[in-house]
Amino acid sequence: MKALVLAGGTGTRLRPFSDSTAKQLVPVANKPVLLYGLEAIAAAGITEVGIVVGDRGAEIRAAVGDGARLGLRVSYLPQDRPAGLAHGVLIARDFLGDDDFVMYLGDNVFTDGIGDLVARFLAGGCASMLLLAKVEDTSEYGIAVVDGQGRVRGLVEKPERSVSDLAVTGAYAFSPAIHEAVRAVRPSTRGELEITDAVRWLVDNGHHVRAEMCTGYWRDTGRIDDWLDCDRTILDTVERDVRGQVDAESVLIGQVVVDPTAQVVRSRVTGPVVVGAGATLRDADVGPHLSVGPHSLVERSAVARSVLLERSTVSGVRGLTDSIIGRGAEVHGTRSTATLILGDAGTATVTE
């Protein structure tokens, strides 16, 4: 079995951050989100992986390499434009051959991995298996209609009225039958080849498509709020690992990770918190739920429930929460409460 990872989308909903980096590389607990997916693929016993890349393919290659450190063999499949998920399958035809495969969207995170999906698909003899999750707002997702035996009977893309509460997540399993389906469908009104249309073609043409329910936490990090939510959830899973320089006046409570090259000076850190390589906390009160990116600085500030990207600075702000601070960005001021979405190299002054 192979894996096809889609990492070619532009990430317009993540602007301004996706203007300067691939959306699949935004950090979650200081690790690119794409790596969580590749680790899940490896944990499921799959070693042969094709990654569909677009304009930011060089960034993806630099982050993943040949996959050897993850126990994978990675091939890169260039996509000349974002033309839909089914288009990713279409251009990967030579790589996939006649093998079964998992398709994984590169900005998705599953805390329980995809091992059950893979095992049940391989044992089930179906043409496709969809990993589904219950959602409250069905208007944002492809929605599956499933019968009492777990067979998918229909799919509706972002329905105006609810037909089911089962959303199609970012992991799918396919037999080679999907190749006929992606050739048969036509572009949607968005001008893209939709994977929901291809799966619907399988259903309409008598192929067996089954549902597998997602256990644990799942999130598509393609929006700011979802990115923050995912970061908080993954931080809850980290184990305490303090290797950096921590002075005697600092207090570290709970799940705190401090990189060997980071330093904590006269600060209080309430986990879960991850402090990246070369980062500094000085006279700070941080956490819970904070990711401090590499070479960032937090001084004379209180920060929680936020993501600070590489080389960012927060100075003199007494209460920064639910924020994302971009690479090389700077926040200064004296305000007691603030929430900011600040792009790379941006500056902000927050005062009372």
The one-letter amino acid at 18: S
pLDDT of residue 18: 66
Instruction: Phi first, then psi: give them for residue 60, nearest 5 degrees.
Output: -65, -45
CA angle 32, 64, 105 (to 5 degrees): 60
The domains of the chain, with CATH numbers, are: 2-223 (3.90.550.10), 238-350 (2.160.10)
Pull the structure tokens for residue 49. 């992986």
How far is Cα 317 from Cα 303, in angstroms, rounded to an integer?
Answer: 8
Return per-residue pLDDT of the chain as tens, 352 residues.
999 999 987 767 777 876 778 888 999 999 999 999 999 999 999 999 999 998 888 999 999 999 999 999 999 999 888 788 999 999 999 999 999 999 999 999 999 999 999 999 999 889 999 999 998 887 778 889 989 888 999 888 777 777 788 999 999 999 999 999 999 999 887 877 889 999 999 999 999 999 999 989 999 898 899 999 999 999 999 999 999 999 999 999 999 999 999 999 999 999 999 999 999 999 999 999 999 999 999 999 999 999 999 999 999 998 999 999 999 999 998 777 788 999 999 999 887 6
How far is Cα 282 from Cα 101, in angstroms, rounded to an integer?
Answer: 49
CA torsion sign, 294 to 296 to 298 to 299? Answer: positive
pLDDT of residue 156: 83
How far is Cα 89 from Cα 79, in angstroms, rounded to an integer?
Answer: 11
pLDDT of residue 164: 86
DSSP-assigned beta bridge partners for residue 134: 166
Pull the structure tokens for residue 281. 């906390």
Mapping DSSP onto H, E and C, the string for the chain reads: CEEEEEECCCCHHHCCHHHCCCHHHCEECCEEHHHHHHHHHHHCCCCEEEEEECCCHHHHHHHHCCCHHHCCEEEEEECCCCCCHHHHHHHCHHHHCCCCEEEEECCEEECCCCHHHHHHHHHHCCCEEEEEEECCCHHHCEEEEECCCCEEEEEEECCCCCCCCEEEEEEEEECCHHHHHHHHCCCCCCCCCCHHHHHHHHHHCCCCEEEEECCCCEEECCCHHHHHHHHHHHHCCCCCEECCEECCCCEEECCEEECCCCEEECCEEECCEEECCCCEEECCEECCCEEECCCCEEECCEEECEEECCCCEEECCCCEECCEECCCCEEEECCCCECCEECCCCEEEECC
84 and 187 Cβ atoms separated by less than 8 Å = yes
CA angle 103, 108, 111 (to 5 degrees): 105
> For the chain, what is the radius of gyration of the CA atoms?
22
CA angle 277, 279, 284 (to 5 degrees): 145
Q: Is the pTM of this model over 0.85?
A: yes
- What is the torsion angle, in degrees rounded to the nearest 10, for the CA atoms of residue 74, residue 79, residue 84 and residue 90? -70
How far is Cα 112 from Cα 3, in angstroms, rounded to an integer?
Answer: 17
219 and 169 Cβ atoms separated by less than 8 Å = no
pLDDT of residue 292: 98
pLDDT in tens, 120-160: 999 988 999 999 999 888 777 888 998 988 899 988 877 77
Could you give the angle at which helices 195-204 and 177-184 cross, rounded to 10 degrees? 110
pLDDT in tens, 58-109: 999 999 999 999 999 999 999 888 788 999 999 999 999 999 999 999 999 9
